[in-house]
């Protein structure tokens, strides 16, 4: 009697544990743009206010997305109707198209897309695994990082005095473009202070990229970005004779291009002392 009772209790506890395990993880929720496949629960959930994501299927900068990142893993509940990987991919592909999105890549288990709406851009990647038993969704709501660390003119001057150059990471451009974004104002202001405080200082403004894309495109992009910085400084009152621009593309990395963190460090503008 006691043994039978304990066995029954164990069955109840195991069943309860399995049921509990198939509930959404604490804090997990669907992204506002997309519902989930029926019969699935959220087993893992993570959201970062700002991060980078590199698609494994869209090459170059077109597959490098930055902004608010939501990462959701869905698993099928026990007893739910089986769905195939193709079924998952097609469902999300059709949902993206209904939102007016552009499909960047798709096959029988993966879809990558770009959705532009109300002046903003959102990227999404959905990958199905385990014969349709699980799938992963990554959604990146494109935005610039809120800059919390700024370089000041004194720090710039000290770096140039010590090494003859300084890397600037507060000058922002859209992917593949050379127009300086408005968020770059504080960094440009500090460069102006540096030059005004050191009237004998002349600078090479050198653009750098990561190694995504072709060498020819990166060389031109880095040159165009460096030239845009020079023009912005001249427009703020710096004599054009004190500045010369150049671009070296991916030739002078400061970190490996094998990671997103490394690529971010390699995308920069450097100020190099001329004399």
Q: What's the CATH code of the domain at 201?
A: 3.30.1330.60
- Write the CA distances from 12 to 17, 24, 193, 198, 260, integer angstroms: 9, 21, 72, 77, 47
- pLDDT(56) > 60: yes
% of the chain surpassing 90 pLDDT: 73
Report how far apart, in Å, the C-alpha atoms of 182 and of each of 29, 211, 216 are: 34, 26, 27
Question: Residue 142 above 90 pLDDT?
Answer: no
Give the number of other CB atoms < 10 A from CB of residue 142: 17
Residue 210 belongs to a domain: yes
Q: To the nearest whole percent, how much of the chain has pLDDT over 70?
A: 89
- Confidence tier at 10 by pLDDT (50, 70, 90): very low
Task: Return the pLDDT at 261.
Answer: 78
**pLDDT for the residue numbered 6:** 44
Structural domain includes residue 14: no
Question: Binning pLDDT at 50, 70 and 90, where does residue 183 land?
Answer: confident
Instruction: For the chain, give the mean pLDDT.
Output: 89
The answer on pLDDT for 237 being more than 50 is yes
User: Per the structure block, which two tokens stand in for 185?
Assistant: 């104002």
Q: Could you report the per-residue pLDDT of 117-135, keeping only the tens digit for each?
A: 877 899 999 999 999 999 9
Q: Structure pTM?
A: 0.53
Query: To 5 degrees, how large is the angle CA 90–CA 92–CA 94?
Result: 65
Claim to verify: residue 124 and residue 157 sit in the same structural domain: no
Same domain, 169 and 107: no
Helix/strand/coil for 144: coil
Are 131 and 163 in a shared domain? no
In this predicted model, which residue has the larger pLDDT, 15 or 166? Answer: 166
46 plus 76 within the same structural domain: yes
Check residue 194 and give left, alpha or beta (phi > 0: left; psi -120 to 50: alpha): alpha
> Does one domain contain both 108 and 52?
yes
Tell me which of 87, 121, 142 is where a domain ends: 142
pLDDT given at position 8: 47
Residues 67 and 136 both lie in one domain: yes
* pLDDT for 192: 96
Whether 113 and 173 share a structural domain: no
Residue ending a domain, choose from 110, 142, 174:
142
Distance CA 128, CA 137 (A): 9
Mean pLDDT to the nearest integer, 58-71: 91
67 inside domain: yes
Decide if 4 is inside a domain.
no
Please report whether residue 6 resides in a domain. no
* Span 98-121, average pLDDT: 92
pLDDT of residue 272: 97
Q: What is the pLDDT of residue 16?
A: 43
What total number of domains does the chain contain? 2
**2 part of a folded domain:** no
- Residues 127 and 167 placed together within one structural domain of the fold: no
Q: Which residue has the higher pLDDT, 166 or 21?
A: 166
138 and 29 in a common domain: yes
Q: Which range marks the domain in which residue 38 is found?
A: 25-142
Residues 29 and 65 reside in one and the same domain: yes
- Has residue 116 been placed in a domain? yes
**Residue 163 shares a structural domain with residue 245:** yes
> What integer is the mean pLDDT of 104-109?
97
Give the end of a domain, one of 84, 113, 142. Answer: 142
- Is residue 61 in a domain? yes
pLDDT confidence of residue 20: 53
How far from 116 is each of 65, 79, 119, 123, 249, CA to CA, in Å?
A: 14, 38, 7, 9, 29
Question: Minimum mean pLDDT among 6-15, 79-88, 176-185: which range?
Answer: 6-15
Q: Are residues 169 and 268 in the same domain?
A: yes
């Amino acid at each position: 009697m006691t043994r039978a009772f304990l066995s029954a209790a164990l069955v109840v506890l195991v069943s309860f544990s399995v049921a509990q395990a198939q509930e959404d993880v604490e804090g997990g929720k669907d992204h506002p743009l997309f519902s989930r496949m029926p019969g699935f629960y959220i087993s893992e959930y993570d959201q970062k206010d700002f991060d980078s994501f590199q698609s494994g299927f869209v090459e170059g900068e077109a597959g490098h997305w930055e902004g608010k990142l939501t990462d959701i893993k869905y698993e099928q509940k026990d007893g739910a109707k089986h769905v195939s990987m193709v079924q998952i991919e097609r469902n999300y592909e059709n949902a993206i198209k209904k939102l007016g999105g552009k499909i960047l890549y798709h096959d029988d288990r993966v879809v990558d897309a770009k959705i532009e709406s109300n002046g903003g851009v959102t990227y999404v990647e959905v990958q199905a695994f385990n014969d349709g038993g699980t799938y992963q969704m990554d959604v990146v709501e494109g935005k610039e990082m809120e800059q919390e660390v700024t370089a000041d003119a004194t720090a710039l001057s000290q770096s140039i005095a010590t090494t003859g150059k300084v890397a600037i990471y507060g000058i922002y451009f859209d992917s593949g473009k050379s127009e300086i974004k408005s968020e770059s104002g504080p960094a440009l202001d500090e460069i102006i202070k540096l030059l005004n405080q050191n009237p004998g200082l002349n600078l090479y403004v050198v653009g750098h990229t990561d190694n995504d894309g072709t060498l020819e495109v990166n060389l031109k992009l880095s040159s165009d970005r460096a030239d845009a910085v020079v023009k912005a400084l001249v427009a703020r009152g710096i004599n054009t004779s004190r500045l010369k621009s150049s671009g070296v593309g991916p030739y002078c990395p400061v970190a490996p291009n094998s990671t997103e963190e490394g690529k971010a460090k390699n995308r920069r503008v450097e100020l190099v002392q001329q004399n």
